[in-house]
Amino acid sequence: MNASFRAFLARSLPRRIPRAEGARLPIVFVAVFAVLLLAFPASRSNAAYPAAAEGPSAAVATENADATHAALETLRAGGNAVDGAITAALTLGVVNPISSGIGGGGFALVYLKKERKVLAFDFRETAPQKIDVERLLAQSGSNAPREQRGHAVGVPGEPAGLELLNLRYGKRSLAADALPAADLAARGFALGRHMTDSIAKLQEYIAVSPDLARVFFPGDHPLGFRSLVRRPELARTLTRFGAEGSRPFYAGDIGKKIVQAAKSAGGTLEESDLTAYRVKERAPLTRTFGSRTVYAMPAPSAGGLMLLEALSIFGADPSSMLGKLGFGSSEYLHMLAEVMRGALADRIRVAGDPDLETSVNEAYERALSADRMAARRQRLDPYKTHPAPEFKSQEQGTSHIVVADVEGNVVSLTTTVNGPFGARIVAGDTGILLNDELTDFSSPSDVSGFGVIGLGPNRARPGARPVSSMTPAIVLENSAPILAVGGSGGMRIASNVMQATLARLVFQMDPGACVSSPRIFVHGASPEVLVDPEIAEDVRAGMRARGEQVREERMLSSSVQMVAWDRRGPQPRLLATADPRKHGFAIAQ
């Protein structure tokens, strides 16, 4: 089955939870799917999900077909996984500006085959030295008028982060890596389904930005699916980025336009904030479970903390206690919800910028200590729900990319501008959409009930990097990669990645089923657990019997990208998949 047909299935077929209590597939669906299975057999497929794309040597998974194809062409032209990830990130900023762009930042994990090691890079945005914390906290979120939105703009990290990755580990020039995105912005691209749906839903939200409205609301009408979109100003900026690197963004005319745009919207960003920006190389957050070693992003990511807490409690292979519960059962989902609550409590209490909060890294290690995880495991009760604050101890848009090359290198990279279209501020004639990442600092409502002093370690202050849920992860078994995963969706990222990772490592599900299966989500101190509509009613009833307050919510803005390795045969096979929730696209070859 080719990648294009799988993508069609991912968009078209209903998603059902495998092994749900008493779950039944509609008769019509069973008949249709049976015919499809006869025509396109896929022995590894789980339940009613399209199987992952499969190939022997390389793979790409992103949230957009244009980005996936651009990255694949970079690999075919001699680039490696780093080059492919850079191309994909820049292309996503062109075609999916609701989620990411060169005016934002991100995290990347890089596995180098020759050196057999995983590196972590933090190019998260930083707060300006003159940050006005009071005005930032008073900002009324997505409905803030333009004169207030500038307070949320952080120093962009993506230009510096992608340039550093290219200079250290890329095989092609930065100009070659940036060319596909620049060409697409200049020649035009067909508007994808996710962007089309988002524009339709956010008409009033986008209309307050003349720059966005001019591109996506010509003639006061939202663009339709497959409409041709050109972004010539951004094309020129990306071409300059390829030719000159990040210097114009931090010590040149582009930087001046970024500062001017932020200040015109009430912000306090200065040129000195840009020149002071540095990408941080950090030690990955790592834990070994038997023959498997999991590498996740350390602070200021809180996503890695949740992922490793879950694996420390449940295990990272089929011997896990979860296997006896059955994937998707009410007890299984309840146990996951309890682990999410504990990890969210830890996030509020210990997560922060490790460069300004010197205790953060040690706090992460204490949180993940074997004794503490064992105690938390003992506290889990199949028939009791704990409010998150009892475990003692406002992000939105993102994009995730996974690229594996023929040499065995792997990149798992998450990029973001935070809220939909970031701060909805374009920097002059550059086409750069500025981020609103500073809203990720803790607010009084975030920390209420958790017993922290003030606003906790994730409080806004000059030069700080706000805590993020971004959760790029790479798993090695016997020193060889078996999984690379990450996701988008703001606060949902960590729990989404955790659920998809468990599906693969514990239940050995096909990656297509891992990312397509219905998911749950808990947030902060809320007693509710949100469930995808496809979770069967009898499963929800079982969750309620275990003390959960269940509320249905379709989580279309959150997605997971995954590449897995099947090493059971004489030659490893790469299995790549992209979440259908955002109409992602994956290719393996």
Give the Cα separation of 274 and 103 in Å (integer): 12
Q: How many alpha carbons lie under 13 Å from residue 60 in its C-beta half-sphere? A: 28
Give the Cα separation of 575 and 571 in Å (integer): 13
Q: E strands, 178-318, where? A: 189-190, 228-229, 280-282, 285-289, 292-296
Catalytic residue among 239, 385, 398, 577: 398
Give the Cα separation of 503 and 43 in Å (integer): 17
Give the Cα separation of 456 and 438 in Å (integer): 15
Query: DSSP class of residue 191?
Result: P
- CA quadruple 516, 522, 527, 528: dihedral sign: negative
Count of residues in the chain: 589
The tokens describing 19, both together, are 């092994």
Beta bridge partner(s), residue 95: none
The tokens describing 365, both together, are 């290690």
Whether 495 and 520 have beta carbons less than 8 Å apart is answered as yes
SS3 assignment, position 121? strand
239 given a catalytic annotation: no
Omega prior to 300 cis, within 30 of 0? yes
Give the Cα separation of 438 and 459 in Å (integer): 10
Quickly count: other Cβ atoms within 10 Å of residue 8's Cβ.
12
Distance (Å) of CA 112 to CA 228, 424, 474, 587: 38, 37, 12, 21
**Active site residues per annotation:** 398
